Amino acid sequence: MKAEEFEGKNIEQAIEAACKHFNLPMEELEIEIITHGSTGLFGIGAKKARIKAAPKPEVTLKRRLEEAQKVLEEFFAAAGFEISHEGQIKDEKIVFELTGPDREYLLDRGGAPLNALQYLVNKIVARRLGVGAKIVLDVEGFREARERRLRQLAQKAAREAKRTKKPVELPPMPSNERRFIHLAIKAIPGVETRSKGQGAERRVVVYPKRRPNRK
């Protein structure tokens, strides 16, 4: 969460304003004193104390996790799904493992419902709390297995593009998977990527790099 400035007759009042704004105790804020202020002479020329404050990173992550839990509870209750969710903070991301009898519905069509739900949760939490750490939804290691398959697909397409000297089109994918492919190909010499198509038909195309002309 972005730091904001607060004023008061003294530092204590400025901190009190920050605590009220963020609805947090002082211990959960990072506070930087800009100026202590001064009373002036007989009150003339008095200057207010100013601070810059923001929730501590761990506090921001905890609030984001709790808000994402609320969104998931609301969604599963409205949809009538028997799905449990347990969230934890990993590498500055918030990861939820989804379990329960109805979890398989989220893995239909290559995990499209799971991706859609993840996008929705991130959007709602961002609207409520502002942009912040990414929220990842996973089912029985689906994300890791999917990334492994995408990496293999990228490597295969790169080999084919270099062998044939022709572009290789990959199947349509959601934006997060296209981004993963772009990054995977970037690490492979001799090939490059571009996106092609619109909407649900947008895909990655792998091109062999042209060698510079020698004079």
Give me the residue spans of the domains in the chain. Answer: 4-55, 59-140, 144-208
Average pLDDT over residues 117-129: 94
Portion of the chain with pLDDT greater than 90, in percent: 68
| Cα separation, 120 vs 10, whole angstroms | 43
Whole-number pLDDT of residue 131 = 86
Does 182 have pLDDT greater than 90?
yes
The CATH number of the structural domain formed by 59-140 is: 3.30.300.20
Nearest to 154 by CA among 106, 86, 204, 198: 204
The CATH architecture to which 144-208 belongs is 2-Layer Sandwich (3.30)
Average pLDDT over residues 169-182: 92
Q: Could you tell me how far CA 60 lies from the centroid of its own chain?
A: 13
Does 204 have pLDDT greater than 90?
yes
Nearest to 161 by CA among 139, 188, 142: 188
144-208 and 59-140 share a CATH fold: no
What is the rounded average pLDDT for all residues in the chain? Answer: 90
Does 123 have pLDDT greater than 90?
yes
Whole-number pLDDT of residue 110 = 82
Whole-number pLDDT of residue 43 = 56
pLDDT band at 134 (very low <50, low <70, confident <90, very high): very high
Per-state percent for the chain, helix, strand, coil, to nearest 5 = 50, 25, 25
Average pLDDT over residues 52-77: 93
Whole-number pLDDT of residue 137 = 96
Average pLDDT over residues 37-44: 62
Q: Which residue has the higher pLDDT, 9 or 72?
A: 72
C-beta separation of 95 from 88 below 8 A: yes
pLDDT band at 211 (very low <50, low <70, confident <90, very high): low
68, two tokens: 């994402």
Average pLDDT over residues 199-213: 86
CA-to-CA separations, 64 to 53, 59, 69, 143, in angstroms, rounded: 18, 9, 9, 21
pLDDT band at 44 (very low <50, low <70, confident <90, very high): low
Portion of the chain with pLDDT greater than 70, in percent: 94
pLDDT band at 91 (very low <50, low <70, confident <90, very high): confident
Whole-number pLDDT of residue 213 = 57
Does 40 have pLDDT greater than 70?
no
